[in-house]
Chains A and B, each alone.
Chain A
């Protein structure tokens, strides 16, 4: 009930293409779904987050799509750039206790020039 399953494990996309990473959760009580971006040798950094009361959130080239009935959410990176090459983690938690973030296993994204 506490797992967050993330796919794919790795992804290669051509520059300018769309990168799509998917996550599925089990606990319907989760109400906060962030995506973190991590570069080698650095800690994760929050990229974008969504609450379950909306189905989509967009910030620049990054969009989260949220499907509450299917218990799935995904990250879309439009016009992918080489600088987007990083590991991306989805997570889920209760907003008022965000230390209990349940993390996906990560997706290593490589954008080919």
Chain B
């Protein structure tokens, strides 16, 4: 168990540019989530995959956001035409569909990608 890894850790971009983030979940986890967190707030749900299928997407998510998990392993989150309001920490988490009793409901988070849009 090497944990959830996210890349890059930090990204600075100019308004209007596209950015892409990558998440590698814990290898045996089949559920993968993307959250967004701004300073002083709890994580905000963006989208969720079970294996390669995107099962849920927040109604608050702009059409400029798209996520993929092509082979049911790693996932990418792309933001097109970034805006200053997109500046936030983007967190990835994973979990097991059939977890051990002690891990039921447990989300394992990565350290996030901090996005700054200038």
Contacts and interface: CB of A to CB of B under 8 A. Distances in A.
Contacts of A34: 105-106
Contacts of B93: 43
Contacts of A106: 40-42
21 contacts: A41-B111, A42-B111, A42-B112, A43-B4, A43-B91, A43-B111, A44-B91, A46-B107, A46-B108, A89-B42, A89-B43, A95-B104, A95-B105, A98-B95, A99-B33, A99-B56, A100-B56, A101-B45, A101-B107, A106-B41, A106-B42
Which label, helix, strand, loop or mixed, suits the secondary structure of the A interface? mixed
A62 interface: no
Interface of A: 32, 34, 41-46, 49, 89, 91, 93, 95, 98-101, 103-106
Interface residues of B, number: 23
Contacts of A100: 45, 56
Interface in B18-44: 31, 33, 40-44
B48 interface: yes
Interface in B89-118: 91, 93, 95, 104-112
Contact of B45 (A42, A43, A89, A99): A99
B111 A44 contact: no
Given A91-B42, A98-B95, A49 B105 contact: yes
